[in-house]
């Protein structure tokens, strides 16, 4: 399952161009793809149905359906609307677990996303990122790959405590245990943070099917080479970076479903430059955003 598109917005004297591509595959081992995604302005989301839970595919699809409906026909989101959608997505997944066909079994999904939002005063544009679980969001500045989210997982907690290294976490027997997920509790506890939208920016969202097979260095290497050499599929069509990363993960073992969404934005104009700071005015921020930035 793939999508690729380009969109333009005229934001006052600022011209914004967005290019995005997404690709999802069940991998080399699983019979069913429990991942789902949304890739369309103003929102880009990846949901990974919980492995080992009943109807994980339904959980991820239900979460994505909430975001799709909430932002259909919208090009710029309001932060509070994103918060509401996260809450409603959690409720939707809980309803699946409450269904008679579940027989008391639990259904759940991780969630990671980034939304193009306007904060407070006019022409104050930001990327609003959020995550629940161990699906990830990275930024790419043309030279280095930076993980923005922090995994909500048992092994990440051990890393935070200094009991194991990040390298040891990759092969730890508890590496598949998540500590937060949609559908796990009545109140969802998401990490949420804001990044000024300015100049050229690239974000990569992925389920853990990518990071189980490829380390950050290998992901960065693929991104670097993709910008200098074009690959084409059997029909002669260009292969997107999202497809290339998914294919690499499958070639490396493909032990899980793999989903990648790549978002690139270019803002050019007076309002696009901004202050260069990674925070916004406290009074302009909705609720608790300042208090939920990822640790680390």
b/e 38-52 (16+ beta carbons within 10 angstroms → b)? bbbbbbbbbbbbbee
Q: Give mean pLDDT, residues 289-293.
A: 49
CA distances from 212 to 69, 78, 100, 152, 249 (A): 31, 34, 34, 15, 8
| Cβ proximity of 22 and 260 under 8 Å | yes
Predicted confidence (pLDDT) per residue in 111-135, tens digit:
999 999 998 767 789 999 999 999 9
User: What percent of the chain has a predicted confidence (pLDDT) above 90?
Assistant: 65
Residue ranges of domains in the chain:
2-142+180-277
Residue 294 tokens read as: 């990822």
Q: How far apart are CA 131 and CA 204, in angstroms?
A: 13
Predicted confidence (pLDDT) per residue in 166-198, tens digit:
777 777 776 778 889 999 899 999 999 999 999
> Which of 197, 213, 206 minimizes the C-alpha distance to 254?
213
Q: What is the pLDDT of residue 233?
A: 74
Residue 165 tokens read as: 């290294």
Q: What is the pLDDT of residue 238?
A: 86
Judged by average pLDDT, the poorest of 117-126, 152-161, 195-204, 251-260 is 152-161
Q: Give mean pLDDT, residues 273-292.
A: 46
Q: What is the pLDDT of residue 101?
A: 54
Instruction: Kindly tell me if the per-residue pLDDT of 34 is higher than 60.
Output: yes
Q: How far apart are CA 156 and CA 193, in angstroms?
A: 19
Residue 47 tokens read as: 């949901």
Higher pLDDT, 212 or 231: 212
Q: What is the mean pLDDT of the chain?
A: 86
Q: DSSP string of 50-78?
A: PTTSTTHHHHHHHHHHHHHHHTTT-SSB-
Q: Give mean pLDDT, residues 251-275.
A: 84
Residue 170 tokens read as: 């990759």
The partner residues of 145 in beta bridges, in order of sequence, read 140
| Cβ proximity of 254 and 35 under 8 Å | no
- Helices 216-226, 241-251: axis angle to 10 degrees equals 140
Long-range pairs of 96-100 with CB within 8 A, sequence gap ≥ 24: 96/55, 96/58, 96/59, 96/62, 96/183, 97/183
Q: How far apart are CA 189 and CA 228, in angstroms?
A: 40
| Cβ proximity of 269 and 48 under 8 Å | no
3-state secondary structure of 7: strand
Instruction: Kindly tell me if the per-residue pLDDT of 240 is higher than 50.
Output: yes
CA within 13 Å, CB half, 1: 17
Q: Give mean pLDDT, residues 55-63.
A: 92
Q: What is the pLDDT of residue 291?
A: 42
Confidence of residue 275 (pLDDT cuts 50, 70, 90): very low
DSSP 219: H
Q: What is the pLDDT of residue 96?
A: 87
Sign of the dihedral through C-alpha 72, 74, 76, 80: negative
CA distances from 132 to 149, 187, 253, 283 (A): 9, 12, 25, 26
Instruction: Kindly tell me if the per-residue pLDDT of 160 is higher than 90.
Output: no
CATH number of 2-142+180-277: 3.60.40.10
């Amino acid at each position: 399952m793939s999508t690729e598109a380009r969109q333009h917005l005229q934001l006052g004297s600022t011209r914004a161009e967005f290019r995005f591509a997404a690709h999802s595959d069940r991998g080399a081992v699983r019979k069913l793809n429990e991942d789902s995604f949304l890739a369309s302005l103003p929102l880009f989301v990846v949901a990974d149905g919980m492995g080992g839970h009943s109807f994980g595919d339904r959980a991820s699809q239900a979460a994505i359906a909430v975001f799709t409906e909430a932002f259909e026909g919208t090009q710029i989101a309001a932060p509070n609307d994103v918060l509401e959608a996260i809450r409603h997505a959690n409720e939707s997944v809980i309803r699946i677990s409450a269904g008679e066909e579940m027989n008391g079994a639990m259904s759940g999904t991780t969630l990671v996303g980034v939304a193009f939002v306007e904060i407070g005063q006019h022409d104050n544009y930001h990327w609003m990122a959020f995550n629940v679980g161990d699906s990830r969001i990275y930024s790419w500045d043309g030279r280095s790959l930076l993980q923005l989210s922090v995994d909500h997982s048992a092994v990440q907690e051990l890393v935070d405590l200094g009991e194991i290294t990040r390298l040891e976490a990759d092969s730890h027997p508890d590496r598949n245990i998540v500590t937060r997920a949609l559908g796990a509790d009545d109140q969802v506890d998401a990490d949420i943070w804001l990044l000024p939208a300015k100049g050229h920016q690239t974000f990569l969202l992925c389920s853990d099917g990518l990071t189980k097979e490829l380390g950050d260095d290998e992901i960065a290497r693929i991104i670097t080479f993709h910008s200098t050499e074009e690959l084409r599929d059997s029909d002669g069509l260009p292969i997107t970076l999202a497809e290339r990363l998914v294919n690499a993960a499958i070639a490396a073992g493909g032990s899980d479903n793999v989903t990648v969404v790549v978002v690139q934005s270019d803002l050019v104009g007076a309002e696009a430059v901004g202050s260069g700071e990674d925070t916004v005015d406290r009074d302009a921020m909705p609720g608790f955003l300042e208090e939920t930035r990822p640790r680390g």
